Amino acid sequence: MAGKNYYDILGVKKDASDKDIKQAYRRMARKYHPDVNPGNKSAEAKFKEVNAAYEILSDKEKRQKYDKYGDKWQYADQFEQAGQQQPQYWDSSPGGSTSYRFGGDVGGMDNIFDELFGGRARGFSRRSQTRRGQDLESTVEVTLEEAYSGTSRTINLQIEEPCTACKGSGRIHNLPCSVCRGTGAVADIKRLEVKIPAGVATGSRVRISGKGQPGYGGGTSGDLYLNITVQPHPTLERQGDDLLTSVPVPLTVAVLGGEVQVPTPKGKLALKIPPETQNGRIFRLAGQGMPHLGRSRQGDLMAKVSIVLPTSLSDKEKELFRQLSQLRPA
């Protein structure tokens, strides 16, 4: 990504809002996603560029560093620790390269890199540093049934791995590495199958250890966090670990007693309705609710009776109801 303008890649202005950047990213990601362009290496490369640009511009701290240091934003902390004067401004040339201007006697970006990474002025060597990899996040949508029993998903992750040519140092013979262009890392899209445990709810955050960005200089990899959203169910309402459902009960069954079917995340259960059951009565089915995340216990299922009155009555049925009304006047 060295020498490229992240704003140009997403097609937004430098003063674009977070919302504009997010909308531009979604538009570009849909256009160049590998699943939409199978076998298209050019689209795949563009997709990687779009993801790399969004990773920087969507993060407030990274964006500030990028606006100040351009494509060398990753070394912002080292620049400031070295006590060098900050650049006065940066802009993009027509060819897409980034130009820097410094005040004082700093002597340009190359001198700073020589001091920071050349191992001379301060004895600093990036190879000797170890750094933990960055954590990654991904949003996962599941159905209520999947949340009940647990499931798995295959997701695409943009991973930045240490460049094998320069071993993550960004330099070869004191010159910027031509493979990673001095960044010390190369981007790649990886498909990862992840497990969603039973009992997750909207807002659950599942941590998958060591599946984030690789570390540098032998540092440990970051973690992957799955932000869970559970889709609404047409007949089951979730209330914590409990479930609530409305069960239609024919009038004759409510009066005389009988059996009805109750929906659950794992199928239907038979529920005995005692005679003279009133409308709105709630039956608790213990242990038929959602599993508690990380524990063995489960919630309950509350089945609320909704009496269904008969329609399209025959003459005989109407006569029977008239006789009933005479036997049990209001």
3-class SS at 295? Answer: coil
Beta bridge partners of 307: 249
Q: How far apart, in whole angstroms, are the C-alpha atoms of residue 28 and residue 40?
A: 15
The predicted structure's pLDDT at residue 129: 61
The predicted structure's pLDDT at residue 84: 43
> Where do you find CATH 2.60.260.20 in the chain?
136-230, 243-327
The predicted structure's pLDDT at residue 124: 37
The predicted structure's pLDDT at residue 163: 77
Q: Which long-range contacts (CB under 8 A, 24 or more apart) does 71-77 make?
A: 71/1, 71/2, 71/3, 71/4, 71/98, 71/183, 72/109, 72/182, 74/183, 74/184, 75/113, 75/116
Assign domain 136-230 to its CATH superfamily.
Urease metallochaperone UreE, N-terminal domain (2.60.260.20)
What's the pTM value of the predicted model, to 2 decimals?
A: 0.56
Alpha carbon distances (Å) from 257 to 252, 253, 263, 317: 8, 5, 19, 19
Taken in order 171, 172, 173, 176, is the CA torsion positive or negative? Answer: negative
The predicted structure's pLDDT at residue 83: 46
Query: What are the 10-residue block averages of pLDDT along the chain, 330 residues in total?
Result: 75 91 87 82 86 87 86 70 42 36 38 43 45 88 95 88 76 79 79 93 93 82 93 94 96 96 94 97 96 89 96 94 88
The tokens for 126 are: 């990036």
Task: Indicate the DSSP class of residue 256.
Answer: H
CATH number of the structural domain 6-128: 1.10.287.110
The predicted structure's pLDDT at residue 112: 43
The tokens for 256 are: 């005389």
Q: How far apart, in whole angstroms, are the C-alpha atoms of residue 238 and residue 227?
A: 18
The predicted structure's pLDDT at residue 81: 60
Q: How far apart, in whole angstroms, are the C-alpha atoms of residue 277 and residue 203?
A: 38
The predicted structure's pLDDT at residue 51: 85
The predicted structure's pLDDT at residue 122: 39
Q: How far apart, in whole angstroms, are the C-alpha atoms of residue 253 and residue 273?
A: 7
The predicted structure's pLDDT at residue 120: 39
> Where do you find CATH 1.10.287.110 in the chain?
6-128
The predicted structure's pLDDT at residue 99: 36
Q: How far apart, in whole angstroms, are the C-alpha atoms of residue 74 and residue 134?
A: 13
Strands 242-250 and 301-308: parallel
- Secondary-structure class of domain 243-327 per CATH: mainly beta
Strands 89-92 and 136-142: unpaired
Task: Indicate the DSSP class of residue 94.
Answer: T
